[in-house]
Structure 1
Amino acid sequence: MDKVVLAYSGGLDTSYCVKYLMNELNLEVYSALVNTGGFSTNELKVVEQKAYEMGVTSHVNKNILQEYYTKAIKYMVFGNVLKNNTYPLSVSAERVFQAIEVVEYAKAIGAKYIAHGSTGAGNDQVRFDMIFQTLAPEIEIITPIRDLKLSRQEEIAYLKENGVDYPWEKAKYSINKGIWGTSVGGVETLTSHQALPEEAYPSQLEKTTPTDIKLHFKMGELIGLNDEFDTSVNTILKLEEIASKYAIGRDIHVGDTIVGIKGRVGFEAAAAVVTIKAHHTLEKHVLSKWQQNLKEQLGSWYGMLLHDGQYFEPVMRNIEAFLEDSQKTVTGEVYVTLKPYHFSVNGIESKHDLMKSKFGEYGETNKAWTSEDAKGFIKILGTANKIYHSVNS
């Protein structure tokens, strides 16, 4: 029997895929769950047990948190990536690296096929297929849900016919969780005007008394929280645990999907949003005017391309090189106050703070030029405007 590696989550779609691949295509199914921070240890065990009950030949749980941070999150922080000035790519960026891991596993076991449970209406099908085609063009892709255009009821009926009778109640809200945030979809996000209700968000408001925290950055990377230093991954997880209790980082992203239609999705991303805003504030103090200007443009492009599954476009490595180089002086502490549903970035401390120059204090005093110097500078600076208006008025 030929082998197929299935990107597996344990939900209805991928469970259907297991039985379909076994029964209809006579394939040996190797299921792979790639964890980017969305599963607890107990949840991973439950998914693994269900996979074997479904009849897979082998199941693996792969944790790629550190790799995901190193190859994506780090650069999303460096670039202050918020798609459409809102969304920190909480889930969309994960799919690329889950696909990469699935391909590597398929190659390792000599699989002839790779399968996933995406539908034909969303972004994930594009991300998975593009990575599979780029890294393993010799491996055929199978997508039962997309190809057969199945309804939920048809999938459940097929599973029951094949001895699988789990309770497949459709959750009121679709939740996808990862280290960089959680997406939330429901009937409200299918409209253009309705907000998600409070109960739709997995993290509920637990604390109302404001809390002051201190974030430590070294060359752009978050390395500590409140004078306790750890890996960036662990620090992000600690920040999420603290900030999520304030229901911080909620919003609804409206954007253009890869397939061309508009879409809305809710999300909560406490650690991601606090980290990006704190990092951005530190950069305002330590980077030059033109570094910030070019970074803003490149960060936007990086987020857009990553969202669209274009991770292997060569320009991504070029942008990463620029972003990494720009972080040489982005070291210091950022002071943040957490409050119910929002937060404030209060200020920073850094030996690279450009406000500490000896040239003067904005709006107060200057020590680097005379009043005559200022008059001459302003006169020359306005020359182009004066020429244009004298000619065209």
Structure 2
Amino acid sequence: MNRTGLVLALMSAVLFGASTPFAKLLLDGMSAQMAAGLLYLGSGIGLALVLGARTALRLPSHDEAALTRADLPCLLGVIATGGVLGPLLLMIGLTRSDAASASLLLNMESIATLLIAWVVFRENVDRRLLFGAACIVAGAAVLSWQGHAALAPGALYIIAACMCWGIDNNLSGQLSAADPVRIATIKGVVAGSVNLGAALVLQHARLPGAGVVAMAGGIGFLGYGVSLVAFMLGLRHLGAARTGAYFAMAPFIGAVVSVVLFHAHDVERLAIAGAFMAVGLWLHVSERHDHEHVHEVMEHTHRHVHDEHHQHKHGPDDPVGEPHTHHHVHARLVHSHPHYPDLHHRHDHGEGTHSHDHDPDPGHTHGPGGHTHAA
């Protein structure tokens, strides 16, 4: 199966997970909205510098598909849910929760991503994935339940943030053929400016000292910017449901860091919740999906090499060398191999489709006899 997508998704999880307890340090003497704004501005400005350096040095990685006008609705949705609302709700939740529990509650993001991918975007989800999701939910319940009939303070805000990021992840999957650095830059600058502007104007907040601003920028660049770029590249290879499942590693990283930073207590409860979540994560990452499928004719633009899915002729104006980016047409192809729901395997599964532990991707829509690419 796709090891590149797995590595990218786990890299994203490690960076974001480690950033959560460090983000909590910013909340001493700073409003939640100010912290959210600084984190995302740090992400956007840092990635803008990467874009500038990439172009100036003419690095091969600058050869990515451009955003188009048709991408604008998804891009606006990504900015609103993942850039503005998600970070704000998380910062509010962090002010009312201990860092370890908050970090593990972020596993709810993978559940939200999976459910939205399954119900709204029709990615295939089988019983194995659903059982894994149930295990993760059970772990989150162990963490968030306090006393007889009350959730932990801040838990609902963190769960709401995860719902926002679940929407964001699925919308980002629709943009995964385009340049992820450019998308993450726009998201960071716009969303960070909105939250920071609201904090300064509506809350009459003051900017913290230069050292705190620099710290927030660094955390945002790595934990939100670089992490988001890796996540979007993972979406390109794995689809939203699977990338979200691998991303469930993030809360474990955050919990470990928070135990070291804040000497978190109630380690027994963390261990029980972590065991549930570990089982759920293992069920997700160990699935296998393999069956004969049909790739119908489709055309699109994205970065690619000439593998079995990309056997096309080049015109005189098309780029040389690999990987490269240009508009191309996929001929009809019938074959069988293990696959994820990547850019070329997004499909519904009918009764005639044989499978083992299904794995859908963002490029295939399966019909009863196989799958059809949706451009």
- Relative to the length of structure 2, the TM-score reads 0.26
**Which structure has the larger Rg?**
1
Which structure shows the bigger proportion of residues in helix conformation? 2
Which structure shows the bigger proportion of residues in strand conformation? 1
- Relative to the length of structure 1, the TM-score reads 0.25
